[in-house]
């Protein structure tokens, strides 16, 4: 019985091209009490591998967080399988705004301590006492109210390329970092303001809304389904789009365009641009914004040092990397002394 991915990204990409089938990219999450995450993990892998599902799925005692793609023709079979699982029956599936057959190239189902790394001790507050969910129409109304404070619960590299008008966008590297900053900055308005939050698909706001209610905020709201579901609803109901720019996503696409506004800049020359890339030097792989002109000039690298390394034969590059672990410091998101426009 196959319980792990056995194909490389390159091999999978070739199979996708050969199949010639349209794939759907989607995501979902659910907080629930899962007694045996490992058992559920193995069961899901067997079924989803058979349905040609690819993606990144985290399972913990507290629930599941899934971002994936699958052949469109197998969507109903996939949905039927989810509905057969008690805590996933009728789950809302966030269909991606922009589709790409190669948004995911491997199936990774992992057991984690938490489905989102929030650094919180869940035993200290009631995680089920969540904020009020707002649909797109009500969200638009609330954020125009002078008594509302709108907060982006995502990290700096996400909000940099797109966010809602007038939103507070904390300059943080992690979700956990934002919680204390928001509480401190808004502590004077715990009772007299509406705290309205949003994120990519809603999962971060589920936990954050309960946390802020525990911290004494009286009027806590969250955008149901996040930016992805908001975009679907405004198109379906012909509502005003109050989101500017692109929505950062955690797959090969990196972003979905929500509006034509370009609110970010190339990290190397400062020209208006909002597309992320990874440094071509595998020992760096820094995620940053690089315009087409700089990409050509810098050979898709973040610095001249990386460009020189990337020009070396592959075996020499490999030898230079030998014995050096790829820590979180290597895989920084848009923060480096090499980048003039983003430090």
Q: Bridge partners of 196?
A: 150, 221
CA–CA separation, 220 and 114 (whole Å): 23
Q: 106: which 2 tokens?
A: 């491997």
DSSP-derived 3-state class of residue 278: strand
Q: DSSP code of 52? A: T
Q: What are phi and psi of 295, to 5 degrees?
A: -60, -40
Cβ 39 vs Cβ 78: under 8 Å: no
CA–CA separation, 257 and 248 (whole Å): 9
Rg (CA), the chain: 21
Q: 208: which 2 tokens?
A: 């954050």
Residues for the chain: how many in total? 343
Q: 286: which 2 tokens?
A: 């820094």
Q: DSSP code of 188? A: G
CA–CA separation, 242 and 261 (whole Å): 11
Name the catalytic one among 199, 279, 294, 306.
199
Residue 291 annotated to the active site: no
193, with CB counted inside 10 A (0-12, 13-18, 19+), is middle
Widest CA span in the chain: 62
Cβ 248 vs Cβ 157: under 8 Å: yes
Q: What residues are labeled active site?
A: 199
């Amino acid at each position: 019985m196959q319980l792990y991915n056995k194909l490389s990204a390159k091999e999978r990409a070739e199979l996708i091209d050969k199949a010639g089938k349209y794939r759907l990219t989607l995501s979902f999450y659910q907080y629930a009490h899962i007694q045996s995450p490992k058992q559920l993990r193995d069961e899901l892998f067997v079924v989803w591998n058979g349905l040609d599902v690819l993606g990144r799925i985290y399972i913990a005692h507290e629930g599941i967080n899934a971002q994936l793609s699958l052949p469109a023709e197998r969507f109903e079979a996939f949905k039927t399988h989810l509905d057969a699982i008690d805590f996933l029956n009728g789950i809302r599936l966030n269909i991606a705004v922009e589709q790409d057959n190669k948004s995911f190239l491997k199936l990774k189902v992992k057991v984690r301590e938490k489905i989102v790394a929030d650094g919180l001790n869940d035993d200290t507050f009631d995680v089920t006492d969540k904020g009020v969910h707002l649909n797109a129409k009500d969200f638009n109304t609330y954020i125009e109210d002078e008594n509302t404070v709108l907060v982006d619960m995502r990290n700096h590299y996400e909000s940099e390329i797109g966010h809602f008008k007038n939103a507070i966008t904390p300059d943080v590297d992690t979700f956990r970092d934002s919680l204390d900053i928001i509480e401190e900055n808004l502590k004077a308005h715990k009772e007299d303001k509406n705290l309205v939050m949003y994120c990519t698909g809603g999962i971060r706001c589920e936990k954050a809304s309960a946390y802020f209610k525990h911290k004494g905020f009286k009027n806590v709201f969250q955008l149901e389904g996040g930016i992805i579901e908001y975009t679907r609803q405004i198109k379906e109901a012909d509502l005003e789009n109050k989101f500017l720019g692109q929505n950062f996503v955690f797959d090969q696409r990196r972003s979905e365009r929500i509006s034509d506004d370009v609110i970010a800049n190339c990290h190397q020359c400062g020209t208006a641009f909002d597309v992320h890339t990874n440094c071509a030097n595998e020992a760096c792989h820094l995620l940053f914004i690089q315009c087409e002109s700089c990409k050509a000039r810098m050979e898709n690298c973040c610095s001249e040092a990386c460009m020189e390394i990337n020009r070396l034969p592959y075996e020499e590059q490999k030898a230079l990397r030998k014995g050096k672990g790829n820590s979180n410091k290597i895989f920084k998101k848009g923060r480096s002394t090499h980048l003039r426009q983003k430090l």
